[in-house]
Structure 1
């Protein structure tokens, strides 16, 4: 062996030894960043297993989501934008930070922030825009997976009403949102009976079949066409996330897209206070069902589809328990990450049965990602585009 080769081997041995024994201080190893795919052929070992031999998830990465109004859309959008960041995917973005990329009754919208990919396509859509498959298919990398969000319609109506505060202006100004909602629902009962033609000071059409419109059904009128369209949505969307079964929906999403638990852990955002969660009378429920029948059809089909998907997943209840346990640990770890336990560099959980790598690992840095809001993510992705143009 010549002198050069001997020096090279000695240098390699010293480097690997230093990396192994100094890793805790350097915070280099065994840290694995959230979303890393473990494709490195490094000789370093993790849990006495070469990284190159650890099982890898063949993740589905091209994803387009219908971000319906007030259906946990910000949480899901942040989750998808985090996934896009971790996997360096091209995202459909507005020109400046916003949760909307294009929303109108037209079948397509102007792309404000062009793709950097050679073919001009996008890999992730996560912001507000009305669903239109033909147009989406023309701007997305194919094949891509469709995700939709739904919520119990009257609960969504309440949340959207509180958000827009439409009835609190002008001559009919009402200070209390609870009183405003009660007044509108009372008027709504008269409207569906035909006793009145409109609700003064309130644009009722804006609140009618909100989810169905977001899913692109704004011009579908006939009952048979509505039923067929809802069935098309059920058939074409890989996952229809149900707000009232959010964790269950994410377990289904994780299975269908071959993701890791690190990809779907979350922290709650924009959750209404308990004082806002008033109950409804039977008359109010019936009136709203008559007012927005398409939303109820869509929601009930979503619940039906989700339950069918759950039945197809082996050991679903075990997976759900594992996910809830990990999400709880993440919440606790991330709450402490910026306070008394800031020195703890990462949360590592071994023997994670339903993660394809067999373990779960996130870092302090990942906590910032998990808790980051949608506008922060949009700004990040816009800045990245500007930086690497």
Structure 2
């Protein structure tokens, strides 16, 4: 640039963009040095109007080409470089966000699993509850709707001693792998029919098993509340159960041959017993029984499923020595506390005895076998393995032998011929209901069950529990009963109003992980 005699600054030596009034005249200050390079000054100036000391000073500055094309090219290049850099940053941040999201999802799943494991394994906080006597019964009804006394047995008799009133206060001690789900279905139907009050767990289908039962585990429990039926899985605690139910409550339970129970329990629960994971070979059960003390850990997680499970369920130490005097004492206590101990191997005879004790009708004990495993998944132990399983579960074997003898004494009292006749009638009625209700007349694999409401719970990692399909054209008279008789335990609990959020959450996680 150059300066004319008036002190104007010109671009490229031309007076076209001169300032008409010098800085010195206007402000009394020295003229600022010319910008370098000169084209920058031109770019920064436009058409402006300034009002200085009351006079208009027109500054006619025109921005010219000032290397416009060069500037545009440079700008586009800079923009492209900036865009590429921004894209790289965004991609890098995207990968980081994706990694963070994966971490959050996995962390959430892990936390949920830990909460579920804790809720299943950790004992709940035991509350100190006020002692309020339970009423004689909470099933009192007006005289005009009260149950009429009926004859006990399948045939009427003139003996007044045979007259009885149906029992509605019931405690069923639900044991594992003993067809107890089938009995539960019978109790659910009876309770619904007579509008009885169940003591149910809260959030799950058991009373925080394997923790000892406590009244605080009952949904919405308050001291002095009355219940008719307790029947969900628990580790038995007589003192707490006794405070929950009326004095004349009928207590009953069911046992199974300990060797067969051990086999079923090993297959069903093996995947959730960590010390079985290290057993090698195709036949893990045979390997375990070959050296049980090598694998068994008394303090291991879920270890109770694989040694004297019945004794454990009744609330006693399943690792006691067989010669410990407490073993015989506890077995005698069980016999005294329970009005009836059923046997899985004689299920129909057991139901006839239950009907007799409860003074129920034959309609009350009709059933379909629920929660049955496929034959292909159950290897029947014989010979040496059977003996080893019996010896490994010595306390359960002693308990079973003692109560098996008691059972047949009750059958003898009932009458062998009468028992045979009533069992035959029960089976005939069951077969008739099967032809009315079940599509195909037999159970099917889990994948072949059409209705979700009829699909049973499956063991972890398997689909070995069979179920049923309901016939399409069932008479109105039988349709409701058929559906109830075929409904699995968890679905029936939901129908009765039990909140199974913990059980359902665990089910969703299993489905998500395809366990």
With structure 2 as the length reference, what TM-score do the two structures score? 0.54
Which of the residues 236, 246, 251 maps onto 2:337?
A: 236
Residues 275 and 131 (structure 1), Cα distance of their counterparts in 2 relative to 1, 3 Å cut: same
1:79 alignment partner, SS class: helix
Instruction: Quote the offset at 1:70 in angstroms.
Output: 0.9
Whether 2:432 is the aligned partner of 1:325: answer no
For 2:476, the equivalent position in structure 1 comes to 345
Whether 2:465 is the aligned partner of 1:334: answer no
For 1:211, the equivalent position in structure 2 comes to 310
Shifted more, 319-328 versus 218-227: the winner is: 218-227
Instruction: Quote the offset at 1:287 in angstroms.
Output: 2.5
Contact 2:276 2:295 in 1 (8 A): no
Which of the residues 316, 325, 330 maps onto 2:419?
A: 316
For 1:153, the equivalent position in structure 2 comes to 258
Which of the residues 361, 377, 399 maps onto 1:276?
A: 377
For 1:372, the equivalent position in structure 2 comes to 487
For 1:300, the equivalent position in structure 2 comes to 401
- How far apart, in 2, do the equivalents of 1:260 and 1:175 lie? 51
For 2:83, the equivalent position in structure 1 comes to none
1:147 alignment partner, SS class: strand
Which of the residues 103, 106, 114 maps onto 2:209?
A: 103
Contact 2:266 2:305 in 1 (8 A): no
Contact 1:66 1:131 in 2 (8 A): yes
Instruction: Quote the offset at 1:279 in angstroms.
Output: 3.1
Runs of 5+ in structure 1 lacking a partner?
1-37, 42-55, 347-362, 385-389
Shifted more, 271-280 versus 163-172: the winner is: 163-172
Whichever of the two has the greater Rg, that structure is: 2
Contact 1:101 1:127 in 2 (8 A): yes
Instruction: Quote the offset at 1:206 in angstroms.
Output: 4.2
Alignment of 1:1-389 (within 5 A): 58-96=165-203, 98-106=204-212, 108=214, 110-115=216-221, 119-166=224-271, 172=277, 179-188=283-292, 191=293, 196=294, 198=296, 204-218=303-317, 223-314=324-415, 315-335=418-438, 339=471, 341-342=473-474, 344-346=475-477, 363-382=478-497
Q: Any idea what the Cα deviations from partners look like across 1:114-161, whole Å, max 9, x if unmatched?
A: 259x94122111111111211111011331111111111111111111
- How far apart, in 1, do the equivalents of 2:405 and 2:276 lie? 44
Q: Any idea what the Cα deviations from partners look like across 1:179-220, whole Å, max 9, x if unmatched?
A: 2222222222xx3xxxx4757999755411100110122276
- How far apart, in 2, do the equivalents of 1:103 and 1:367 lie? 31
Instruction: Quote the offset at 1:273 in angstroms.
Output: 1.9
2:438 alignment partner, SS class: helix
Q: Any idea what the Cα deviations from partners look like across 1:254-295, whole Å, max 9, x if unmatched?
A: 111001111111111121222233232433233323322111
Contact 1:92 1:101 in 2 (8 A): no
Residues 374 and 121 (structure 1), Cα distance of their counterparts in 2 relative to 1, 3 Å cut: same
With structure 1 as the length reference, what TM-score do the two structures score? 0.70
Instruction: Quote the offset at 1:225 in angstroms.
Output: 2.0
- How far apart, in 1, do the equivalents of 2:272 and 2:387 lie? 22
For 2:69, the equivalent position in structure 1 comes to none
Runs of 5+ in structure 2 lacking a partner?
1-142, 147-162, 440-468, 500-515
Instruction: Quote the offset at 1:368 in angstroms.
Output: 1.1
